Amino acid sequence: MANEAIFSKVQAIIADQLDQAPEKVQLTTNFKDDLDADSLDVFEIINEIEDAFDVTIDTDETIDTVQDLVTFLAKAA
């Protein structure tokens, strides 16, 4: 899957989970700093992403931004 397609799907999931406009979710967006996501929000996003992409994201993975997540998913594909 191309990074653009991954980002589009990730963007929709994050926007839905955090009740944000999709335009607010960009590659440089930091979950905690830009979207005010707490650890439970991030946990729920990760669960949705794991289900949507059929991957497992280890807790030791450093995922602070949307780009981190897209890069991880591109490598896992």
For residue 25, is pLDDT > 90? Answer: yes
Separation between Cα atoms, residue 39 and residue 43, nearest integer Å: 6
Mean pLDDT across 15-33: 96
Q: Which letter does DSSP use for residue 61 in this model?
A: S
Helices (H), the chain: 3-18, 31-35, 39-53, 66-76
Mean pLDDT across 15-34: 96
The 10s digit of each residue's pLDDT in 55-77 is 999 978 889 999 999 999 999 98
Kindly list the catalytic residues: 38
Per-residue confidence (pLDDT) for residue 1, from 0 to 100: 78
The 10s digit of each residue's pLDDT in 40-57 is 999 999 999 999 999 999
Where do the domains of the chain lie? 3-76
Domain 3-76 matching CATH 1.20.200.10: the answer reads: no
